[in-house]
């Protein structure tokens, strides 16, 4: 069984379980949920804060409210907790215009971390580019994420997503087959020859590298970006390891197919775009070499601060 890469919602978090995986158990892979996309935006529209007036605040959906006693206990650590009136009041008091959320795509902690009783708390290990992670939801991740966005917009705050399109939780050649590997392995992932053997290119340090130059990956990433901008109504993106997204094979190209696709797109090309300008591949540091796209973008910016690491399971 595989996770549908276009699934807009899954019924539970993706949690590694070696025994269930090796048994090919149907209980290992979460199931896609089919629900109506209807949502009442109540006439609320995007703030569209000018680039030169944008002040970003980066945070984590769970971490920001998990221990916050001003938030009702049942909402702490969730999408609904992050849009609690007390939280909104605090964020606005800081004078920021835009909140950048660390990854909300459905993800799976690395098996190695699970064996060590650790977890990838920050979520930088996606397995789906459309479904918001149910870890941060009480009942319905899609509806509750939309509620977060609507509430932020009501208060003049933009929502920027930290997105990981450079690798997935399927890791390297010995990794798990969860979704993309079982459908389009040699189109979706960048391959290289190591000692005359075909292997996964690992320009991300995470075992695999998404081949953003392939038709399959290019279409999926663009569909994902448009989905989050239109259906979920976010305001822009911060691309994790954005140098990977500009690679044509081994080398970085500021005129790559993906960058051209973004530039010509009437929706994606007009939102706020932020590039983390490196990966660990050849010529991996590309600060200043990303193209300027559209009229209202913030691309070419190195991340000033981000928290990465692992934490003990609670």
Strands 247-248 and 251-252: antiparallel
- 192 beta partners: 199
Bridge partners (DSSP) of residue 312 are 118
Q: State the catalytic residue, choosing from 144, 240, 250, 279.
A: 240
Report the alpha-carbon distance of residue 290 to residue 268 in Å, rounded.
Answer: 16
In 3D, which of 117, 120, 116, 90 has the Cα closest to residue 107? 120
240 is catalytic: yes
Whether 54 and 97 have beta carbons less than 8 Å apart is answered as: yes
CB 161 within 8 A of CB 238: yes
Does 276 qualify as catalytic in the annotation?
yes
5-35 burial, b at 16+ Cβ within 10 Å, e below that, comes to bebbbbeebbebeeeeeeeeeeebbbebbee
Nearest to 200 by CA among 244, 162, 238: 244
Which one of the listed residues 84, 110, 158, 276 is annotated catalytic? 276
HSE (CB half, 13 Å, CA atoms) of 213? 16
Give 97's DSSP letter.
Answer: S
Asked if residues 77 and 138 have their Cβ atoms less than 8 Å apart, the reply is no
Picking from 296, 294, 241, 308, the residue whose alpha carbon sits closest to that of residue 97 is 296
Q: Using alpha carbons, select from 208, 248, 16, 65 the residue that is nearest to residue 200.
A: 208
Residues involved in catalysis: 240, 276
């Amino acid at each position: 069984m595989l996770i549908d890469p276009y699934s807009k919602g899954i019924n539970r978090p993706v949690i590694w379980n070696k025994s269930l995986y090796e048994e090919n158990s149907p209980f290992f892979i979460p199931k896609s949920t089919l629900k109506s996309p209807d949502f009442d935006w109540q006439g609320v529209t995007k703030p569209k804060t000018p680039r030169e007036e944008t002040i970003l605040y980066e945070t984590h959906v769970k971490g920001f409210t998990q221990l916050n006693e001003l938030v009702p206990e049942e909402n702490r650590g969730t999408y609904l907790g992050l849009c609690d009136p007390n939280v909104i009041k605090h964020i606005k008091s800081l004078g920021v215009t835009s909140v950048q959320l660390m990854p909300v795509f459905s993800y799976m902690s690395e098996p190695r971390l699970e064996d060590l009783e650790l977890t990838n708390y920050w979520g930088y290990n996606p397995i789906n580019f459309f479904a918001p992670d149910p870890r941060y939801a009480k009942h319905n991740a899609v509806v509750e994420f939309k509620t977060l966005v609507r509430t932020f917009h009501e208060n003049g705050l933009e929502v920027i997503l930290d997105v990981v399109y450079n690798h997935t939780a399927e890791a390297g050649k010995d990794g798990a087959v969860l979704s993309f590997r079982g459908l389009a392995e040699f189109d979706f992932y960048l391959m290289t020859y190591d000692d005359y053997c075909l292997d996964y290119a690992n320009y991300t340090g995470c075992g695999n590298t998404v081949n953003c130059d392939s038709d399959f990956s290019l279409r999926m990433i663009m569909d994902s970006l448009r989905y989050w901008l239109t259906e979920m109504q976010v305001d822009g993106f911060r691309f994790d390891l954005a140098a990977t997204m500009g690679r044509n094979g081994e080398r970085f190209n500021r005129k790559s197919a993906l960058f051209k696709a973004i530039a010509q797109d009437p929706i994606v090309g007009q939102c706020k775009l932020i590039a983390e300008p490196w990966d660990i591949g050849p010529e991996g540091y590309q600060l200043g070499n990303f193209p300027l796209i559209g009229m209202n973008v913030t691309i070419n910016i190195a991340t000033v601060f981000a928290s990465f690491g692992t934490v003990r399971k609670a």
